[in-house]
Structure 1
Amino acid sequence: MPRNDNKRFVERDRNWHPPAYAPGYKTTVARSPNQAYVSMQAPSVSELGGPDFSRLRMGPHDNDLLLNYREDPARTGQAGLPIGERIIMFGRVVDQFGKPVPNTLVEMWQANAGGRYRHKKDGYLAPLDPNFGGVGRCLSDDEGWYRFRTVKPGPYPWPNNINSWRPAHIHVSVMGPSISTRLITQMYFEGDPLIPLCPIVDTLRDPEAVETMTGRLDMARSRSMDCLAYRFDLVVRGELQTYFENQG
């Protein structure tokens, strides 16, 4: 059965999301559709029901990127910690009506403090951190809250233009109440001067859409002499949803 009683289908606002074809963001030129969109009917029962993650087994450090990829002390003689500014990333997952979404899977991935991903195709000259894997996951609690501990990712260059840089960001995937509400987005950091210079961000027509992807410094949740905290709430489905990253 669906885990959410609010079943009303809300059509996506195409003026809120970026156009599929945005030449300033060069990869959209090749991947944007060249035919009209297919009209969607109301979601089916299978799209509204589940999956149910409430019994998913989580590891003790799945949401702690400071601990979940440390070098094996048996091999190195010591267990190191990742290099970089320690941060907490947290927030609530809610639906379009403000109702919390409990027991939903929140996944995240990011570059290390030098701006490099642990990926075979990442050729940026910044070094890999042997104690940082860059991925984590958790389940939201009964009130929709989620939390990660990690390091602040670094910006990195990419070949869109002669001197294009991605702002520091963390990618996020959240399933929401059902598979039809899955959201893939990213969190930028409040005050980053690279945000308005990014060709990807620049595809958004509405500044408020950028605000939905901006994590806000929260000193009340920060830990003294340890790490700063950034709040990033996720709204799935509907008029107020956080901007979808994967709408190319």
Structure 2
Amino acid sequence: MSSTNVNDRNVLQLGAIGVLVAGLAFLPGASRTNCGMTPEVASGLFYPTQDRPEEDTNLTRVDNWPGEAREEIIHVRGQVLDEACRPIENATVELWQADAHGRYQHERHHLSVPLDSNFQGWARAVTDAQGRYGFKTVKPAPYPVDEESAEFRSPHIHFRVTHPEHYELITEMYFAEQPLNETDSVLQQLPAEEREQITVRPSADENTRGPVYSFDLTLAALKRDLVSPELLDRYVGTYQLEARGKIRTLETQTLQISRDGNRLYVNTASLSRRMELRPLSESRFDTGGLGGDEIQFHPDEGAKGTLTLDLGEDRTLRGQKVSEPSGVTGGL
């Protein structure tokens, strides 16, 4: 990947950040001149697929439910920055996670543990002029990879950050005190330095109930002229994948490549939404939240063009374009 690769309710617009992010005026990023890119982590299967009536930054209460989410209340705060450590205003920060039982509010998460009906599960914030965001939530519990597996995911929180002038970032935040970090199959795929970047430690704030975790997020600037509109149009379409090597998750699937202005996106049947591809050259793209390494387009091969999806460790998939797009959307 390229990185190696106040009232607690209704706080969507963080311009009046209030007590939710009190104490953030002197975050570490404020005095730096070079911010390393936040490591990307695949989004997983549990990004919300259905419209949520509530998306405010307090995940511990749900409208029309009398109670509060169970277990340890925590606060997650930070800044969204560019590569020169300048704050990014009006970035959208999405957060989703398991509850204190290890259960996601998602139709694909089939665990026998009860779902906490007082936990919101997903939230959205918009950064203020200093790039600040903040959420009130609970510490998520570990959960098994599936109900028959002895492998557990360490507690973590998912983030997706978007902004018109920057590339999408999908990542996860981990907790330093968790023993399962040493065996988590997703976290351990990253180099030690990148694991440290997305692992946080608690601090205290006398104005809040529960520990505070600071998590800054760095976005890469959009490169509008790296790939011509004509080439982007040639890449758009549906590709049938053929497996090469020992690959289970994407074998026999199709990839849908779409365009929106200067941006290219990928989607598959197993994803709940499209994900942005970040250009590395005219034909090579970082797959980011898809979880692979790169997509290489070959627009002149075959009848309609092909692509190669490189998943690392000698695992590649070849894709043959099987249909052309019905059209592309306009600019940003």
What range is the shorter-chain TM-score in? 0.5 to 0.7
Cα distance in 2, alignment partners of residues 167 and 237 from structure 1: 28
Aligned letter for 1:227?
A: G
Q: Give structure 1 regions of 4+ aligned residues with deviation exceeding 6 angstroms.
A: 15-20
Cα distance in 2, alignment partners of residues 125 and 12 from structure 1: 38
Displacement of 1:189 in angstroms is 0.9
Displacement of 1:161 in angstroms is 9.0
Match of 2:173 in 1: 187
| Residue deviations 1:108-160 (CA, integer Å, cap 9, x gap) | 11111010011112111210111112011111110111000011111100149
Match of 1:114 in 2: 101
Aligned pair in 2 of structure 1 residues 146, 161: CA closer, same or farther (>3 Å)?
Answer: same
Match of 1:5 in 2: none
Aligned pair in 2 of structure 1 residues 81, 19: CA closer, same or farther (>3 Å)?
Answer: closer
Match of 1:12 in 2: 2
Cα distance in 2, alignment partners of residues 105 and 125 from structure 1: 33
1:173 to 160, 164, 170: 160
Asked if residue 210 in structure 1 is aligned to residue 195 in structure 2, the reply is: yes
Cα distance in 2, alignment partners of residues 148 and 96 from structure 1: 24
> Structure 2 unaligned runs (5+)?
6-36, 45-52, 222-287, 293-332
> Sequence identity of aligned pairs in percent?
35
Secondary structure of residue in 1 paired with 2:201: strand
| Residue deviations 1:19-54 (CA, integer Å, cap 9, x gap) | 99xxxxxx9xxxxxxxxxxxxxxxxxxxxxxxxxxx
> Structure 1 unaligned runs (5+)?
1-10, 21-26, 28-58, 74-78, 239-243
Are the equivalent residues in 1 in contact too, given 2:40–2:171 (CA < 8 A)? no
Are the equivalent residues in 2 in contact too, given 1:101–1:177 (CA < 8 A)? no
Aligned pair in 2 of structure 1 residues 110, 97: CA closer, same or farther (>3 Å)?
Answer: same
Match of 1:156 in 2: 143
1:116-131 matches, within 5 Å, as: 116-131=103-118
Secondary structure of residue in 2 paired with 1:181: strand
Aligned pair in 2 of structure 1 residues 170, 19: CA closer, same or farther (>3 Å)?
Answer: closer
Aligned letter for 1:232?
A: F
Are the equivalent residues in 1 in contact too, given 2:3–2:40 (CA < 8 A)? no
Are the equivalent residues in 2 in contact too, given 1:92–1:233 (CA < 8 A)? yes
Are the equivalent residues in 1 in contact too, given 2:56–2:125 (CA < 8 A)? yes
Cα distance in 2, alignment partners of residues 229 and 14 from structure 1: 28
Cα distance in 1, alignment partners of residues 89 and 121 from structure 2: 24
Cα distance in 2, alignment partners of residues 214 and 139 from structure 1: 23
1:64 to 24, 36, 58: 58
Give the total of aligned pairs.
Answer: 185
Displacement of 1:245 in angstroms is 4.8
Match of 1:196 in 2: 182
Displacement of 1:214 in angstroms is 1.3
Secondary structure of residue in 2 paired with 1:209: helix
Structure with the bigger RCO (C-alpha within 8 Å, sep 6+) is 1
Higher Cα radius of gyration: 2
Cα distance in 1, alignment partners of residues 143 and 154 from structure 2: 7
Cα distance in 2, alignment partners of residues 192 and 99 from structure 1: 32
Cα distance in 1, alignment partners of residues 41 and 124 from structure 2: 30
Aligned letter for 1:118?
A: Q
Match of 2:219 in 1: 236
Aligned pair in 2 of structure 1 residues 142, 175: CA closer, same or farther (>3 Å)?
Answer: same
Structure with more of its chain in strand, by fraction? 2
CA RMSD of aligned residues (A): 3.0
